[in-house]
Amino acid sequence: MQQYLTRAEEEMRLRNYSRQTIKSYIGCLADFFRVKGKDFEKMDYEFIRSFLLAKQEKHYSPQTINLYLNALKFFYHDVVKDNQKIDLKFAKRNQKLPVVLTRDEINRIIASIKNNKHRLMVALAYGAGLRVSEVINLKIKDINLNELMMHVKQAKGRKDRITVFPEKLKADVASLINLRNRNDYVFASERGGKLTTRTAQIIFEKALAAAVIGKDATFHSLRHSFATHLLENGVDVRYVQELLGHQNIRTTQIYTHVTNPSLKNIKSPL
């Protein structure tokens, strides 16, 4: 089994897949191989179908089932070089609206953080629409304080993008990065290097609890809120798409369902 996992990992590295994608695909393939037990190179359509149906019966999310399916398609098509199609339809994704925080809730969360560096990190994630991985990987050289712009490098999908820098944070961030090396991480760990993703998430979770906000919000809700508030301010959805780095406009349009001024003006008949 290990030799097939190694081959799959090497192929993904050659194709410059992200570390997270490699980790996810290898986890799915290892699980599949354990269940299959033998003849890993033989593409068995019915076995794959029953394997995925078993995941569905165990209440795996549609997103997770799609991840397994994509991993298996990659293995048989790109590693084994089997040209047979795995003609299975993708599981229908749950159409959940993102959790969005109000401007007041954002301010309360930020105000509840006593550590200056941590407070700035959360504020910048909201003010620039950054993912948690993007904010911890941000380097001093990526920020242009004069132009109020930021260069987000090698984000999701290995894509670079330019996004806005909030003027309100200019003085505080300038003080934080003053006299430091341009290659340093903006929000460096006390032990050196960058903060971990989990550390940033814990900082947000503690701030959410301290602000006494009952929503099921996560660090990523800061990015959802950034997009929603821009649309509420009248920014065109295509500009929001560019700032978020979405490849497909439909991904950005989900936020138009969260903030619909016409719906908000309708009064209940009760």
Active-site residue flag, 131: yes
Active-site residue flag, 151: no
Structure tokens at 202: 């814990």
- Residue 178, Cβ density class (10 Å: 0-12 exposed, 13-18 middle, ≥19 buried): exposed
Residue tagged active-site, from 119, 194, 223, 229? 223
Residue tagged active-site, from 25, 119, 126, 131? 131
Structure tokens at 23: 């980790």
- 111 touches 128 (CB < 8 A): no
193/187 Cα distance (integer angstroms)? 9
Which residues, at least 6 apart from 216, have a Cβ–Cβ distance to it below 8 Å? 99
Residue type, 197: T
Active-site residue flag, 34: no
Structure tokens at 178: 């003053």
195/202 Cα distance (integer angstroms)? 11
Residue tagged active-site, from 68, 76, 185, 255? 255
Active-site residue flag, 220: yes
Residue tagged active-site, from 119, 194, 229, 246? 246
Residue tagged active-site, from 73, 156, 161, 170? 156
Structure tokens at 210: 């301290």
Active-site residue flag, 223: yes
In order of 124, 189, 199, the CA distances from 203 in angstroms are 14, 13, 6
Active-site residue flag, 255: yes
Polymer length in residues for the chain: 270
Catalytic residues: 131, 156, 220, 223, 246, 255
